[in-house]
Amino acid sequence: MDGLRKVDLNLLVVFQHLLEERNISAVARRLDLSQPAVSNALRRLRAAYGDELFVRTGQGMQPTPLAEAMGGPVSEALSLLSHLADAVQPFDPSVSQRRLRIAMTDVGEIHFMPSLMELCARHAPGVRIDSLRLAGADLQRELDAGRVDLALGAFEGLGGGVVQRMLFRQGYATLYRRGHPRAHAGMSVRAFRAERHLIVSRAAPEGQVNQALERAGLALAEQFSVPHFSAVPYIVSTTDLLATVPQKLAASAAPHFGLQWLMPPVKLAALQTNLYWHRRLQRDGANQWLRHLIIDTFADRA
């Protein structure tokens, strides 16, 4: 406790933002402070911890080993204090300035983020949502620490303390450009295999769509590939490649890129999308509000 008396909690807020931004000017803008105020906060932190903490380099303010070691505990402590403040003062989305973080994939961003941004603009103008790319042990760690509020998608391997709720199931569709000389609804498996395909090499979860395409006789090693779904509509719209993607992505992208889509003539298991959050945030006002917003907007109705 004696050590805590030496440190103003506001200094730890500056510390966390310096660790994220590595730039004094950027931190000043983010916290609406002057650059001298941020520099003074850093001087006080250095005095309190007897360490440089951040060293100016050509790549910005790089953290020392001590600062790196402090990063996790400081972030978790500030997150807990933030949630304590929310418990004392009920969450009001119309006036809140909270920044909420959601882990999702690139295809999740395409489906969820436009609607979430529009809803925030209308009902919670001060709330900001950040999308993060995390999975597996990294996602579990960030949920445990309170640095991620929610996760949206089909994430495997999440365990202790994480609650989940199914939002919807969807099949897959095969995109092709309008005017493609051979692709059409109802094409045979043989004709499907004979076409050139664009493969998403990091399709989640566990590449099940790619495994199914291989079982249908498609030689994936002979096809073109990209690591994520986001580039698919751009490429398919200017080539004769076919691309098999989640159905909601196909329906969303097709009208904007002049694409058509067909039901692939191979058996593909449905893809389930879930909402995940940590049990510690079960009663957090902001987390509850965002969960209800997502469920009301995106969940399938029984």
Rounded CA-CA distance 276/175 in Å is: 30
Asked, for residue 93, whether it belongs to a domain, the answer is no
Domain boundary among 60, 88, 116: 88
CATH number of the domain that residue 205 is part of: 3.40.190.10
Domain boundary among 65, 88, 111: 88
Q: Which residues contact 78 (CB under 8 A, 6 or more apart)?
A: 9, 12, 13, 16
Domain boundary among 55, 88, 121: 88
Residues 71 and 196 in one domain: no
CB 257 within 8 Å of CB 119: no
Rounded CA-CA distance 140/155 in Å is: 10
Asked, for residue 51, whether it belongs to a domain, the answer is yes
Per residue of the chain (302 residues), give pLDDT as tens: 445 555 677 888 899 889 888 999 999 988 888 999 999 999 999 998 899 999 999 888 999 999 999 888 888 777 777 666 555 568 899 999 999 999 999 889 999 999 999 999 999 999 999 999 988 888 998 898 888 999 999 888 888 789 999 999 999 999 999 999 999 999 999 999 999 999 998 776 657 788 888 888 888 989 999 998 989 999 999 999 999 999 999 999 999 999 999 999 998 888 899 999 999 888 889 999 999 999 999 999 75
In this predicted model, what pLDDT tens digit does every residue of 94-115 receive, in sequence order? 999 999 999 999 889 999 999 9
β-pair partners for 275 = 152, 165
Conformation bin of residue 164: beta by default, left when phi > 0, alpha when psi is -120 to 50: beta
Rounded CA-CA distance 11/18 in Å is: 10
Burial 244-272 (b: 16+ CB within 10 A, else e): bbbbbbbebbbeebebbbbebbbebeebe
pTM above 0.85, yes or no: no
Asked, for residue 25, whether it belongs to a domain, the answer is yes
Domains contained in the chain, number? 3
CB 278 within 8 Å of CB 160: no
Residues 252 and 279 in one domain: no
Residues 148 and 233 in one domain: no
Domain extent, residue 20, equals: 4-88
